[in-house]
Chains A and B, each alone.
Chain A
Amino acid sequence: MMADHAEVTERTVVAELLTFLEERTKSAVTEDQDLFATGAVSSMFAMQLVVHLEEAYDVTIVGGDLKQVNFRTVRAMAELVLRLREAQGVTGGA
Chain B
Amino acid sequence: MPDALTSARDLVGTLVADRADAWDAAGRLPEDLLRDLGGRGLLCAEVPGSYGGLGAGSRDSGEFTAYVGSLCGSLRSIMTSQGMAAWTVRRLGDQDQRAAYLPRLTSGELAAVGFSEPDAGSDLSAMTTSVRVEDDVVVLDGEKMWVTGACYADLLVVFARSEDDVVVVVVPTATPGVTVERIPDPLGCRAAGHANVRFSSVRLPASAVLGGTGLSLLATTALAYGRISVAWGCVGILRACLNAAVTHARTREQFGKPLARHQLVARHLAELLVSEQVATRACEHASDLWDARSPDLVTAVVLAKHVAAGHAARGAATATQVLASAGAAHGHVVARAYRDAKLMEIIEGSTEICQLILAEHAVATVA
Contact = CB atoms under 8 A, between A and B. Distances in A.
Contacts of B213: 64, 66-68
A55 B293 contact: yes
Contact of A63 (B95, B214, B295, B296): B95
A49 B216 CA distance: 12
Contact of B364 (A25, A49, A65): A25
B294 A47 contact: no
A14 B245 CA distance: 56
A44 B210 CA distance: 21
Interface string B64-98: 00000000000000000000000000111111011
A63 B299 contact: no
Interface of B is mostly: helix
Interface string B158-192: 00000001000000000000000000000000000
B217 A66 contact: yes
A42 interface: yes
Interface of B: 90-95, 97-98, 165, 210-221, 224, 293-299, 302, 357, 360-361, 364-365, 367
Given A55-B293, A64-B211, A68-B216, A47 B93 contact: no
Q: How large is the interface on A (under 10, 10 to 19, 20 to 34, 35 or more residues)?
A: 20 to 34
Nearest to A67: B213
B212 A26 contact: no
A62 B217 contact: no
Contacts of B98: 62-63
Nearest to B224: A47
B216 A43 contact: yes
A5 to B, nearest CB: 20
Nearest to B289: A51
Contacts of B296: 48
A44 B299 CA distance: 8
A49 B360 CA distance: 16
Contacts of B211: 62-66
A5 B362 CA distance: 35
Given A26-B367, A51-B294, A55-B294, A44 B212 contact: no
14 contacts: A24-B295, A25-B365, A36-B216, A42-B357, A44-B298, A44-B299, A44-B360, A44-B361, A47-B220, A55-B294, A63-B93, A65-B211, A67-B213, A68-B213
A51 B299 contact: no
Contacts of A26: 364-365, 367
Contacts of A64: 94, 211-213
Contact of B216 (A25, A46, A52, A63): A46
B357 A44 contact: yes
Given A24-B364, A66-B92, A68-B217, 15 more contacts: A42-B361, A48-B296, A48-B298, A49-B295, A54-B293, A55-B294, A55-B295, A62-B91, A64-B94, A64-B213, A66-B91, A66-B221, A67-B213, A68-B213, A68-B214
